[in-house]
Structures are given as C-alpha cells and as structure tokens.
Structure 1
C-alpha cells in the first residue's frame, strides 16, 4: 500500500502500534455517531488493536487505489485520524472517500488535504469520480465535503440501507486541465 503526502500530512498504512492514537478518534462518540452501521464506537485499546488488524488485512486484499490509511501530521509525527478509499456496498461500483479526525483537530483543513490526496491517488488509477456519503443532519461533514469541491448529487438509501446524502468529486473538479468529459458518463 502506498504512502500519500500533502503539505502537512502523511497518509500511511495503519500499524497495530497506532491503537492508542486511533482510539482517540474511533473511541469518541462525536466521531462514530456519524459512521456507517458497521462501525461502532470502539470501547478500549484491545478492541482498537483488533480493528486495526482487520483494517490492515483488508487493505492488503484490496486492489489499488482502495485502502485505509492512518493520517499522520508531518510536523510532530502524531496520528490524528484515519482515511479510507473503499468500494461502497452493495455493488462495489462506487468508490467512497472518507476521513475521521480527532475532534480537537476539526476545522484545521486536514479533511480537505486528505480528501484531495485520496482523490488524486484514485484519479491516477483510472478512477474518474469518488463519492462521499453523509448522514442527514451531519452538517459539519456536508459543509466539509462542499468546501473540498464535492458536488451534491442527491439522496439515496442504496448504501448501507440508510438514507444518505451523496456528494461527488470528478477529475475535472480538481484538475482544470482535464477535459470536462473525462471518464464514463455520470451516474446520477
């Protein structure tokens, strides 16, 4: 799995040794209340280690560009969150871009850096669009994905069996040199 880099961040594979830092994210109800039904609040370090082992194994099985990454700040080496680029259920046709950060670090632009790094990575692998799915009422996430340049596509219940807002980012949205018709037709 590749290491991705931004001005301030390194997105790298998770390590079991990251459990303590990961628990600061995935053990926080403010973060996990908005995640998919498959992701509950992690109760303790032992559970976090087991989950990291699952994520590490999952990432090893996935074909690029898909995967899960730890988000590490370059200036101090701290793991501040997690990122993902995963096929969405049920058809595994759409690729979801996502991130989770420690709540004390919300509002510092790390989500935007992460989103653009993952999108650029996906676009280098002949993916023409990535999606973010947001639970209704999660105004912080909706605002963040819009600031990231993602466009609202609509609402659906096809992912995870939940009513979700769907946002999309295409190659042409972040690369002005890309032809507007790059990639397959839109699936609205």
Structure 2
C-alpha cells in the first residue's frame, strides 16, 4: 500500500475511526438518505454493499498501486454514534504527497459543524504524515460543502473534475480553521 495507514484521530467532539465490516449496519442507516446523493450522484449502498466496500478498504489497494485510500467513520465522542465519514486518496505529487479529500455527514447530523471538525482533524493528521497538498472536489450547488472547504482554508481553483469545482490548499502554512 502507498502512503500512510489510517489510524484513529480525536478532535474536541469527535473520534474518527477506520471502518470495519461490522460498521456497515450502522453506516447504512447514516448514509441511507437519498438526499445525500443529490450532489455526489448514485444511490445509497445496501448493508451488504457497504460491508463489501469496508472489507475492500481494510484490505487496501494492490501493493503496486501508487495511491492510498484512507477512510474514517466520524463518531461523536459522547455516545460513539456514527454521523458520517471523511476520506482521502493519497498520491505522489511534485512537492511530496498530496491528498484529494471528501466528507459526508448524515442528514440528521448536518448543521452542527461535524463535517468541518472531522475534515480539519483529518487534514491535521494528513499534514503530520507528510501530505503537503490538499484538494477537494465540490459541486457548485453544494453551498454547505463549499463552506466546509472554505473553513478548511481551501479555495476554488476554476479547475473542474467532472461536474465539480476543484478546491486547493494545504501547504504547511495554510492550516484552515475548525468551525
């Protein structure tokens, strides 16, 4: 596997944990609202599909791949309830490692700053593991996700990835803020 291996991350209110197959039942409920797919496309995964995905993530990519797939389930510290996930795909870049990041928080848990806090925790962890460049792809109609990217210190570039705008930031002097 290429790059760092995900480990637990703690923030003020959250614990980020790499997923395991047994998390699929709980996460299928968290991610089951079709409205989550308005901007990212697709349909909610079934429990079996999600379990298979978590098993694949735990196994990692083939050893010859030049990318690392890192995913963390976002859990509230107070009750360990899953509220969403963050993820990063780490690849080699011109100045060292780079990561393309994303965040998804279940509908009932949106509006509490969980996405920003979890993504900021993930970015801090990535930077501590030699990731120098951060990008995220945000649909232009997804104002809440754009707000998270902005709070993280990312800025829209004018570049596109499919139907999403690429946001960039992440040199060691651009740490963003939690919100």
Structure 2 length-normalised TM:
0.79
CA offsets, 1:9-65, max 9 Å, x none?
Answer: 111110211112211233221212322x6xx32343222222222222237968997
CA contact (8 A) 2:98 2:131 kept: no
Equivalent pairs counted in the alignment come to: 164
CA, structure 1 residues 81+53, in 2 after alignment: closer, same or farther (shift >3 Å)? Answer: same
CA, structure 1 residues 77+60, in 2 after alignment: closer, same or farther (shift >3 Å)? Answer: farther
The residue aligned with 2:164 is: 164
Runs of 4+ with deviation above 6 angstroms: 59-65
Task: Specify which of 121, 139, 152 is matched with residue 135 of structure 1.
Answer: 139
The residue aligned with 2:110 is: 106
Distance 2:58 2:119 in 1: 20
Extract unaligned runs of 5+ from structure 2: 1-5, 92-96
The residue aligned with 2:81 is: 78
**What is the RMSD of the two structures over their aligned residues, measured on CA atoms?**
2.6
The residue aligned with 2:175 is: 174
SS in 2 for 1:172: coil
Distance 2:115 2:45 in 1: 24
Distance 1:147 1:109 in 2: 10
Structure 1 length-normalised TM:
0.76
Distance 2:115 2:138 in 1: 14
The residue aligned with 1:184 is: none
Bigger strand fraction: 2
Distance 1:150 1:164 in 2: 14
Task: Specify which of 47, 50, 53 is matched with residue 49 of structure 2.
Answer: 47
Extract unaligned runs of 5+ from structure 1: 176-188
